[in-house]
Amino acid sequence: MPEHTAAADFAALLRELKDRSGLSYGVLAKRLHMSTSTLHRYCNGDAVPADYAPVERLARLCKAHPEELVELHRRWVLADAVRGRKGAAAAETPPEEAGSGTGPGQAASEAAPPAEAASAGAPPAAPADADTGAGTAPARRRTRTAVLAGIAVAAVAAGVAFAVGLPGGGSDGDGDGGRHRPVGAAGVTAEGTAPASSSPPSAAASPSSPAKDKGPARTPAGSAPAGAPSGEGQKSGVPVTVRAEPYAWESPCSQRYLADKPASEMKPPPLEEGAAAWVAAHGAVSSGQQYLRLTVQGTGPETVVVDGLTVRVAGKRAPLAWNDYAMAYPGVGCGGGVQTRAFAVSLDSARPSLTPEPGNEDFPFKVSESDPEVYYLTASVSAYDVDWYLELKWSSGDRSGTLTVDDEGRPFRTSGNKGRPAYEFPIGGDGWVPEGTTKLE
């Protein structure tokens, strides 16, 4: 889909919601904690938000219906995907040499002989017109530049070869063995091919280990990283991508986190888009329940059937004995409603499985590049501290497989909070106080 069409369709729905609300740009911007000019750019199609959280808050402020929320998210996914492809293409395009007066073909043909000569250890051959007069000076300068470039390439190649030969060198030099995958990174099992990764996500570290800064990943499951050469993303044969947002909020009232810190050391509650950074800063864990937003999209025009999502438990322990912090400010009303494609799972069960929320359909669903699906998962737990992940089964024609969906190569983590000291942050206050002690005027 052309970039202007995807962005324009997204902006058109934003404007429709804004106009229907009767609120001015200034009022909406203030409530969304953004500048008026930024909101103007979103509604005019001049920019696409990098995260969906402010878009959803805007839609809810404008009293969007559930169907409109789903359609708005679909349009944002398409606009964001087109923008990502454009950015990757720009990053791959090398800048032209200013004033060279040569095209790409010429530059390549002139640079190739010196590079080959350097790699063979022999000096480059002199250009055929080296003695034809002053008019050849630019050619000689280009030749000298190419020689230097060839020597530099050879030196770098030698350095790389030397580094690889050292003990502990190579791609595994950081010691993680390639275990740290992006959110939704996939162990792919397609018919007729070997699995890309046969092991499940590694269990989380000790309960006291802090989480890393985890935002919505931009590298979806089963796809090549942004900027990868054309065709590289198709090597696995996976025609579908998954983007997991493990710190989405159904509403601030429903979201809580456990942290092994006293209230005096905790920062105020964040907005939803800052939740990942807040969790990382405090080493926090989702408390009582975790709300996930999964965006599933095809990589091409062909239809892909999402056959189902399976919950896999990687480990269970006693609930964390940490303090429990509520994200909602006392006295602030909370909106929200049941989304379409909404599912629930109890992690306390011996065999946790997803069940559709009332009024929602169950799998299978169909997706393609222009028709993504968004699934909302509410995982609840009270008796355990649980490490878990998801397996998404897909099929398309004569191909099928499974994608592992996790939290940047680690399982999702959700802990029960019964009996834990609970805290809230009063509006206008300067710190956390025990929950229930705030007096509302």
Tens-digit pLDDT string for the chain (441 aa):
555 688 899 999 999 998 998 888 888 888 887 888 889 889 998 889 888 888 888 888 888 887 888 889 889 888 888 876 666 555 555 544 444 444 434 433 343 444 343 344 444 444 444 343 444 444 444 445 444 445 444 444 444 333 333 333 333 333 333 333 333 333 333 333 333 333 455 444 444 444 444 433 333 443 333 333 333 334 357 999 999 999 998 877 779 999 999 999 999 999 888 999 999 999 999 999 999 999 999 999 999 999 999 999 999 999 999 999 998 766 555 555 556 799 999 999 999 999 999 889 999 999 999 999 999 999 999 999 999 999 999 999 999 999 999 998 999 999 999 999 999 998 878 899 999 886 544
Half-sphere exposure of 272 (CA within 13 A, CB side): 24
Helix 137-165 and helix 104-120, axial crossing angle in degrees, nearest 10: 50
- Residue 285 sits at φ, ψ, to 5 deg, of -135, 140
The model carries a pTM of: 0.55
Task: For tokens 């919505």, name the residue.
Answer: 216
Q: Are strands 304-317 and 433-434 parallel, antiparallel or unpaired?
A: unpaired
Cα(301)–Cα(304) distance, rounded to whole angstroms? 9
Q: Kindly state the helix (H) or strand (E) to which residue 85 belongs, with its residue range.
A: helix 66-92
Which structure tokens are listed for 403? 């994608």
Closest of 215, 252, 185, 212 to residue 406, by C-alpha: 185
Q: Are 39 and 23 in contact (CB under 8 A)?
A: no
> SS3 breakdown of the chain: % helix, strand, coil, rounded to 5?
30, 20, 50
The answer to whether 280 touches 213, Cβ cutoff 8 Å, is yes
Judged by DSSP in three states, 292 sits in strand
Nearest to 206 by CA among 285, 264, 281: 285
Domains and CATH numbers, the chain: 3-90 (1.10.260.40), 232-434 (no CATH)
Q: How many CB atoms lie within 10 A of CB 105?
A: 8
Cα radius of gyration rounded to whole Å, the chain: 27
- Give 128-180 pLDDT, tens digit per residue: 443 434 444 444 444 454 444 454 444 444 443 333 333 333 333 333 333 33
The residues with which 308 forms a beta bridge, in sequence order, are 393
Cα three-residue angle 391-403-91, rounded to 5 degrees: 140
Between the two ends of the chain, the Cα-to-Cα distance in Å is 52
Residue 269: asked if its preceding bond is cis (omega within 30°), the reply is no
The CA angle 225-228-232, to the nearest 5 degrees, is 95
**φ/ψ (deg, to 5) at 135:** -65, -10
Is there a contact between 288 and 296 (Cβ–Cβ < 8 Å)? no
Euclidean distance between CA atoms 140 and 144, whole angstroms = 6
DSSP secondary structure letter of residue 55: H
Judging by beta carbons within 10 Å of its beta carbon (0-12, 13-18, 19+), is residue 234 exposed, middle or buried?
Answer: middle
Side-chain half-sphere exposure of 32, counting CA atoms within 13 A:
28
Shortest CA distance to 241 belongs to which of 219, 268, 263, 256? 219
